[in-house]
Amino acid sequence: MNENINFSQTTLLTIFEKFHHQKPVIMKKTLLILLIFISASSIFAQDILQWRGVNRDGIYTEAGLMKKWPDGGPKLLWHFDELGDGHTSAAVTANGVVTTGMIDGKGVVFSFDLQGKLLWKKEYGTEWAESHNGVRSTPLIIGDKMYFMSGYLKLFCLNSLNGQTVWSIDLVKEFGGRNIEWGVTENLLSDGNVLYCAPGGSGASVVALDRTTGKTIWKSKATGEKSAYCSPMLINLSGKKILVTMLETNICGFDAKTGVMLWKFEHINDTNVHPNTPIFINGMLYCTSGYGKGGVMLKLAGDGSSVTEVWRNAQLDPKTGGVVVLNGRIYGTGDRNRRLFCLDWMTGKEIFSLKDLAPANIILNDGLLYIYSESGKVSLVEPKANEFNIISSFPVPFGANPHWAHLVIRDKKLYVRHGTSLMVYDISAR
């Protein structure tokens, strides 16, 4: 349990001891207050871990990290090399690490302590072995629950402490979900007690579920399209919450409370593949895809009921690596346009680029870019006024298959997944 919770409970028990000799009526009121405080403290202290950081935007906020790595890279603290196939990132809590892999066609959840000791592993069912084999959905962890979706549209809620199944849903049977060429890939999104996902059913493209029970809150036909590998995001605008995701041929916005589709905007590439989570800043929504499509900037109406196009840029076309935004500039790597780009947020114009490191996934911490290239190299890059400065790089030493899992930073450690292996590096400045 979180240390803050322990402190709160100890304090409250001291108060209880002080009042336990009082009259029954006073005692009942005291007990009620104690229960309310304990409950509120537990909710407040929940550890929530999700895809690409707290805001799903690839931005981490660790202090005290190295500004330059030693030759050969930071110190490798530990690694585990028996994950099987998969492209999921690590979900790192205050007490441990969870990730997933596929072994002999079966999906497996792995739980480690922070020193790399395997605490338990849990097989949960058949996983994707038809193309680019392995697990795709990075676990979403909220307190003692974890959520993820298999490549075959099975949605799971497990106890994050021991791996026991709390509930599961077959999204094909429940919502008519339809699979896609390379297996459904979605990093789940939650808000309070609501869990959102896109089964891609003709009558239920997007759904909202009670994350405690798995029961349906709403389902939306939307455009009737299949999912498109996108991990959705939530916008807060003028007191309204708007769910945004990318389906096969459209970017769609939904009233997060009711599921009513508020707007759609056509966004098509050759493959109906749109894995990058959209980014929203000050009324502006940026969505980008690979295969030469690139990105579009949309402006939301003040009430969120519609969108209008602001600009397009086809050069920055990340396939799966995402982008980050810093000081009015967009950073990311291209797929067909294999460069590291810097674009202006307001105009979409290319400010500068570098013919190196692409394609890659990208995150940001304290003004520096952490770039994990598909070539198997991790780099620390400073974005300067008119150029990129590659400060340090190191090769990923373990693992097999594509370098697709996104980097994670937590507690001054860098988590690098390469297929069968998870590696943890010390990046503290000391």
Where is average pLDDT lowest: 11-15, 24-28, 371-375?
Answer: 11-15
In tens, the pLDDT along 176-185 reads 999 999 999 9
Q: Is the pLDDT assigned to residue 70 strictly greater than 70?
A: yes
Mean pLDDT (whole number) for 31-40? 44
CATH 2.130.10.10 fits 46-426, yes or no: yes
> What average pLDDT score do residues 351-360 get?
98
Q: What is the pLDDT of residue 329?
A: 98
How does the average pLDDT of the chain come out, rounded? 91
Domain boundaries, given as residue ranges, for the chain:
1-45, 46-426
pLDDT of residue 35: 47
**What is the reported pLDDT for 46?**
60
As a whole number, mean pLDDT of residues 195-200 equals: 97
The answer on pLDDT for 246 being more than 50 is yes
pLDDT of residue 34: 46
pLDDT of residue 321: 96
**Percent of the residues in the chain that have a pLDDT greater than 90, as a whole number:** 88
pLDDT of 22 over the 60 cut: no
**Region of poorest pLDDT, from 47-51, 147-151, 319-323, 409-413:** 47-51
How high is the pLDDT of residue 24? 53
Quickly state the pLDDT bin for 48 (edges 50, 70, 90): confident
Residue in 353, 344, 338 with CA at minimum distance from that of residue 326: 344
State the pLDDT at residue 417: 98
Given pLDDT bands bounded at 50, 70 and 90, which one contains residue 14? very low
Mean pLDDT of 49-62: 96
Q: Residue 353 and residue 340: Cα distance in Å, rounded?
A: 5
Assess contact for 313 and 88: CB atoms under 8 A. no
Note the pLDDT tens digit of each residue in 390-400. Answer: 999 999 999 99
